[in-house]
Structure 1
């Protein structure tokens, strides 16, 4: 039997995992998120490694009764013209981000790291794999009033790029190319396929 741990506090990732049929528990990572990597896809991969790795160390310290533990770490970032947009710092930051996204196409990257830990004869063995997924998102033009009204809902404040595609910002989305769930916060189909291929190679 394998225990699955989601190394994220994101309610969107929890919902996606649950909807896909995964049974899991959540352990929030306290990993350092300061990073110097420039390319957004490499950046989210590195941050997902840190998050999953930090939780892996916690799991090994606490111990577990199962045959193995699978840890899922993830990080999502919005990028436009190579500029990285994380969570906004206040309403002014959210307004600036949304104005930048209005009428344009941007990219959303999610990095995912999977770490599997097994305990054999009192010793831990560990293997991992990391990948990232990118999705293009195009926005309709947004008026200043629309941006202010959206910010007033509070929805943008805890989301990369200052919007939630699954929430009230859906009315601004002209189209996407790629995985919708990746924009929400976790490319759940790619996650399943990676786990499937990992199992088949054993």
Structure 2
């Protein structure tokens, strides 16, 4: 498997627990760094453009902090993966909730409307400067609708107020795009059905990540 071959170093530019788990499940050994950027200062009209711009900004923030001088003449390159994700609900972009009240409203909405996750992956070869990035969109129809014909879907039951209270008290939903964490143990009982892979919904589409890594090597 490509991931097990020790011919490159890998840095995940994210503090997301879900992304770390996905990358580890893919068989990669990696280190992590997080970008300290003001995400609200970067605005784009289209969600696809926004997540790509944020992934680019994260890469530019992390790259100066990585020492690659010894690797320049080495056969082993260093790759940096940066990502971003937003939720689009009823046509409106949802980033991380700005307050507990907003997180609560986000979670209550998901049984009553249509949402999609838009994720970006950007892979940069820090030795050669080669960079490849792409966005991935997963429609999440929370009401059954013939308008959408897609392979990856999620259907939710109503999430009870007491569960929402626990999630907000725990705090993790405040750091998730749209307050949407389908893999959380408190949320799982209210996921009616997941059709297809959930890795893109969780913020790191595996197939796209694998392809971009190969393209920059």
Q: Shorter chain as normaliser: what TM range?
A: 0.7 to 0.9
CA contact (8 A) 2:121 2:208 kept: no
Corresponding residue for 2:183? 166
Corresponding residue for 1:43? 50
State the distance in 1 between where 2:85 and 2:165 align: 24
Displacement of 1:156 in angstroms is: 1.9
Structure 2, unaligned runs of 5 or more: 1-6, 143-155
Aligned with residue 23 of structure 2, among 17, 24, 39? 17
Could you say what secondary structure the match of 2:129 adopts? strand
| TM-score for the superposition, normalised by structure 2 | 0.78
Q: Does 1:181 pair with 2:199?
A: yes
Alignment of 1:95-174 (within 5 A): 95-118=104-127, 125-137=128-140, 138=142, 139-167=156-184, 168-174=186-192
More strand by share: 1
How many residue pairs end up in the alignment?
A: 192
| TM-score for the superposition, normalised by structure 1 | 0.83
Corresponding residue for 1:122? none
Structure 1, unaligned runs of 5 or more: 119-124
Displacement of 1:75 in angstroms is: 0.6
Q: CA RMSD in A?
A: 2.2
